[in-house]
A = this chain, B = another copy of it.
Amino acid sequence: MESSPAGSPHLRWHPLKREWVGYSGARQGRTFLPSTDDCPLCAAREGRVGEIPFDDFEIAVFENRFPAFTAGAETPPVLEGVTTAPARGRCEVIVYSADHNASLGALDDGRLDLLIEVWGTRIEALEAMGFAAVLPFENRGEEIGVTLHHPHGQIYAFDFIPVQIARAAEAQRDAPVVADLIAQTDRALFLQDGGAAVSLVPPFAMYPYEVWLAPRRRVASPAGLTGEERAALAQALGDAVRRLDALFGAPMPYILTVQTAPRGFADTFHMTIEIRPFRRDKGKLKYLAGVEQGSGIFLVDVSPEEAAARLRAVLP
Contact = CB atoms under 8 A, between A and B. Distances in A.
Given A28-B281, A255-B293, A290-B135, A204 B15 contact: yes
Nearest to A153: B290
A25 B139 contact: no
Interface string A188-232: 000000000000000111100000000000000000000000000
A138 interface: yes
Interface string A161-180: 01111011001100101001
Contacts of A180: 15, 81
A284 B145 contact: yes
A85 to B, nearest CB: 12
Contacts of A274: 294
Given A16-B171, A257-B293, 18 more contacts: A2-B306, A4-B306, A16-B168, A17-B206, A18-B171, A27-B301, A32-B284, A79-B186, A81-B183, A82-B203, A137-B289, A139-B287, A139-B289, A162-B295, A255-B293, A256-B290, A274-B294, A276-B293
B145 A296 contact: no
Interface stretch (A6-14, A113-121, A122-130, A242-250): A6-14
Contacts of A237: none
A97 interface: no
A164 to B, nearest CB: 3
A203 B12 contact: yes
Contacts of A280: 28
Contacts of A301: 24-25, 27-28
Interface of A: 2, 4, 6-7, 11-25, 27-28, 32, 68, 79-82, 133, 135, 137-139, 144-145, 153-154, 156, 158, 162-165, 167-168, 171-172, 175, 177, 180-181, 183-186, 203-206, 255-257, 259, 274, 276, 280-281, 284-291, 293-306
- The copy count of this chain in the complex is 2
Contact of A163 (B20, B162, B296): B296
B204 A82 contact: yes
A165 B16 CA distance: 9
Contacts of A16: 167-168, 171-172, 177
A86 B293 CA distance: 21
Given A303-B4, A305-B4, A305-B6, A164 B295 contact: yes
A167 B299 CA distance: 19
